[in-house]
Amino acid sequence: NAGVTQTPKFRVLKTGQSMTLLCAQDMNHEYMYWYRQDPGMGLRLIHYSVGEGTTAKGEVPDGYNVSRLKKQNFLLGLESAAPSQTSVYFCASSDRGRTDTQYFGPGTRLTVL
Amino acid sequence: EDQVTQSPEALRLQEGESSSLNCSYTVSGLRGLFWYRQDPGKGPEFLFTLYSAGEEKEKERLKATLTKKESFLHITAPKPEDSATYLCAVQAQGSQGNLIFGKGTKLSVKP
């Protein structure tokens, strides 16, 4: 039981490049979330999904897109990376309706030059 | 606006010196308050969920309490391995499970 895993762990992009971050969970959770963590800002919600095929915007969605084609996977895309998107990205999942507890992955450290 | 404020930003303790971390919140109906521990370079690790004022939960040297306006994380006789950043988050009634996080308290415990 791996819990929540994230790929890749580290990535460096040039401004304007695109990439996709992958989150996978093996807990059969319905809800999945993408957060970013910046120094002095705390964790902020980017997008979330309440089930397969659904997505919704969080607090800071601009510049990101997401997809949830399979229940266990949640993808975060950057179409045209900007230096302001340099951050640590965390994925989380929860089994809403039981404990609501969100379990987090290990994070992806992204640098945009 | 829903908001979470944690204090202090940083706390340095000697091993065995007990203390408390504060989490003040304003939310339009509290569904739950969560405490996480985060080690450098790692993802947040779940510690506790509190649902109603007066509720308390304990785990080893940690005890979390909840009132209508704030939560405390009490650390009794801390050890160096308790050093980490402690995050507080709230979930509002009617939300899609979204968490609103505070900025965290960085705890350092010196031997």
pLDDT tens digits for A51-97? 999 999 999 999 999 999 999 999 999 999 999 999 999 999 998 76
Give me the pLDDT at residue B20, please.
Answer: 98
- What is the rounded average pLDDT of the residues A29-54? 94
User: How many CB atoms are closer than 10 A to CB B4?
Assistant: 22
Chain B residues touching residue A105 (CB < 8 angstroms): 43
The chain-wide mean pLDDT, for chain A, equals 94
Question: Are residues A94 and B36 in contact, defined by beta-carbon separation less than 8 angstroms?
Answer: no
Report d(CA B41, CA B35) in Å as an integer.
Answer: 18
Give me the pLDDT at residue A97, please.
Answer: 63
Give me the pLDDT at residue A58, please.
Answer: 93
Assess whether pLDDT exceeds 60 at residue B101: yes
* Cross-chain residue pair A43–B45, CB shorter than 8 Å: no
- What is the rounded average pLDDT of the residues A23-41? 94
Name the nearest CA neighbour of B91 among B36, B54, B39, B38: B36
Chain A residues touching residue B45 (CB < 8 angstroms): 104
Partner B, chain A 7-26, Cβ-Cβ below 8 Å: none
- Which residue from B31, B44, B98 is facing A104, i.e. has the nearest CB? B44
Assess whether pLDDT exceeds 80 at residue A17: yes
Assess whether pLDDT exceeds 90 at residue B28: no
Measured between CB atoms, does B35 come within 8 Å of chain A? no
Give me the pLDDT at residue B98, please.
Answer: 85
pLDDT category of residue A98 using cuts at 50, 70 and 90: low
Chain A residues touching residue B43 (CB < 8 angstroms): 4, 90, 104-107
Measured between CB atoms, does A76 come within 8 Å of chain B? no
Name the nearest CA neighbour of B73 among B98, B51, B53, B47: B47
